[in-house]
Structure 1
Amino acid sequence: MDDQNKNLFLATALSFVVILAWFILFPPPEQPEIDPNAPVAIEGAAPAADNDLAVAPAAAPGSAPAQAAETASETTEAPRVTLDTDRLEGSISLVGGRIDDLRLKDYRETLDDDSAIVQMLDPAGSDNPYYALYGWAPGAGLTLDDVPGANTLWAIETGQTLTTTSPVILRWDSPAGLTFRRTVAIDANYMFSITQTVENTGGATVSLAPYGILARKGEPDDLKNFFVLHEGVVAMADGTLSEIDYGDMPDFNVIASEGARAEVTQVAESGWIGFTDHYWMTTLIPAAGTPYKQVAKYDERRDIYQTETVLQTVQVAPGETKNASTQLFAGAKEWETIRGYEKGGVDGFLDSIDWGWFFFLTKPIFAVLHWLNAAIGNMGWSIIGLTLLIKALLFPLAYKSYVSMAKMKELQPEMAKIKERTGDDREKLQKEMMALYKKEKVNPAAGCLPILMQIPIFFSLYKVIFVTLELRHAPFLGPFQDLSAPDTTSIFNLFGALPWAAPEAGSIMALIFIGILPLLLGISMFLQQKLNPAPTDPTQAMIFAWMPWVFMFMLGGFASGLVVYWIANNTITFTQQYLIMRSQGFKPDILGNITSGLKKAGKPEDK
Structure 2
Amino acid sequence: MDDQNKNLILATALSFLVILGWFFMFPPPEPEAPGALPAEQASQTAPAAPSADAGPATAGTGQGTAVEEVVADAPRVSIDTPRLSGSISLLGGRIDDLSLKDYHETTEPGSPVVKMLKPVGDTGAYYALYGWAPGAGLSLDDVPGANTEWRVAAGNTLGVDTPVTLAWDNGKGLTFSREIAVDKNYMFTVTQSVENSSGGTVGLAPYGVLARHGEPADRKKFFILHEGVVAMADGELTETDYKKMPDFDYKEREGARADVRQVETDGWIGFTDHYWMSTLIPAPGSAFKQAAKYDERRDIYQTETVLPTETLTNGQSASVTTQLFAGAKEWETIRAYEKAGIKGFIDSIDWGWFFFLTKPIFWLLHNIHNLIGNMGWSIIALTLILKAILFPLAFKSYVSMAKMKELQPQMEKLKEAAGDDRAKVQQGMMELYKKEKVNPAAGCLPILLQIPIFFSLYKVIFVTIELRQTAWFGPFQDLSAPDPTSIMNFFGLAPWGSPEPGTMMATVMIGILPLLLGISMFLQQKLNPAPTDATQKMIFAWMPWVFMFMLGRFASGLVVYWITNNTITFTQQYLIMRSQGYKPDVFGNIKETFQRGAKGDKK
Within 2, Cα distance between the matches of 1:481 and 1:61? 49
Consecutive unaligned residues of structure 2, counting only runs of 5 or more, are: 56-60, 592-603
Query: Which residue pairs with 2:214 in the alignment?
Result: 218
Q: One-letter code of the match for 1:261?
A: R
Within 2, Cα distance between the matches of 1:37 and 1:370? 45
Within 2, Cα distance between the matches of 1:67 and 1:498? 56
Query: Per-residue deviation at 1:267?
Result: 0.4
Q: One-letter code of the match for 2:571?
A: T
Matched, 1:433 2:429: yes
CA 52–38 in structure 1, closer or farther in 2 if over 3 Å, else same:
farther
Query: Which residue pairs with 2:40 in the alignment?
Result: 38
SS of the aligned residue for 1:137 comes to strand
Query: Per-residue deviation at 1:545?
Result: 1.1
Query: Per-residue deviation at 1:67?
Result: 11
Query: Per-residue deviation at 1:384?
Result: 0.3
Higher mean alpha-carbon deviation, 282-291 vs 493-502, is at 493-502
Query: Per-residue deviation at 1:112?
Result: 1.4
**Is the Cα contact below 8 Å between 1:534 and 1:593 reproduced in 2?**
no
Deviation string, structure 1 residues 157-186 (Cα, Å, up to 9, x no partner): 110111110111110011221110101011
Query: Which residue pairs with 1:507 in the alignment?
Result: 503
CA 52–593 in structure 1, closer or farther in 2 if over 3 Å, else same:
farther
Alignment of 1:166-565 (within 5 A): 166-255=162-251, 257=253, 259-565=255-561
Higher mean alpha-carbon deviation, 142-151 vs 495-504, is at 495-504
**Is the Cα contact below 8 Å between 1:265 and 1:294 reproduced in 2?**
yes
Within 2, Cα distance between the matches of 1:376 and 1:259? 55
CA 127–375 in structure 1, closer or farther in 2 if over 3 Å, else same:
same
TM-score normalized with structure 1 length: 0.92
Within 2, Cα distance between the matches of 1:592 and 1:308? 62
Alignment of 1:117-196 (within 5 A): 117-196=113-192
Query: Per-residue deviation at 1:37?
Result: 4.9
**Is the Cα contact below 8 Å between 1:74 and 1:124 reproduced in 2?**
no
Consecutive unaligned residues of structure 1, counting only runs of 5 or more, are: 41-49, 596-607
**Is the Cα contact below 8 Å between 2:95 and 2:127 reproduced in 1?**
yes
Deviation string, structure 1 residues 230-279 (Cα, Å, up to 9, x no partner): 00000000000000000110110141546411000000010000000000
Q: How many residues align?
A: 583
Higher mean alpha-carbon deviation, 29-38 vs 381-390, is at 29-38
Query: Which residue pairs with 1:79 in the alignment?
Result: 75
**Is the Cα contact below 8 Å between 2:30 and 2:502 reproduced in 1?**
no
Within 2, Cα distance between the matches of 1:91 and 1:391? 50
Q: One-letter code of the match for 2:576?
A: I
**1:59 maps to which of 52, 56, 63:** 52
Within 1, Cα distance between the matches of 2:504 and 2:467? 25
Within 1, Cα distance between the matches of 2:473 and 2:62? 63
SS of the aligned residue for 1:432 comes to helix
Percent of aligned pairs sharing the same letter = 69
Q: One-letter code of the match for 2:352?
A: G
Of structures 1 and 2, the one scoring higher in RCO (CA 8 A, sep 6+) is: 2
Within 2, Cα distance between the matches of 1:67 and 1:492? 55
Query: Per-residue deviation at 1:428?
Result: 3.0
Query: Per-residue deviation at 1:38?
Result: 3.1
TM-score normalized with structure 2 length: 0.93
Query: Per-residue deviation at 1:18?
Result: 1.2
**Is the Cα contact below 8 Å between 1:156 and 1:169 reproduced in 2?**
yes
Within 2, Cα distance between the matches of 1:284 and 1:336? 19
CA RMSD of aligned residues (A): 2.2
SS of the aligned residue for 2:40 comes to coil
Query: Per-residue deviation at 1:39?
Result: 6.2
Query: Per-residue deviation at 1:335?
Result: 0.6
Higher mean alpha-carbon deviation, 418-427 vs 112-121, is at 418-427
**Is the Cα contact below 8 Å between 2:44 and 2:298 reproduced in 1?**
no
SS of the aligned residue for 2:519 comes to helix
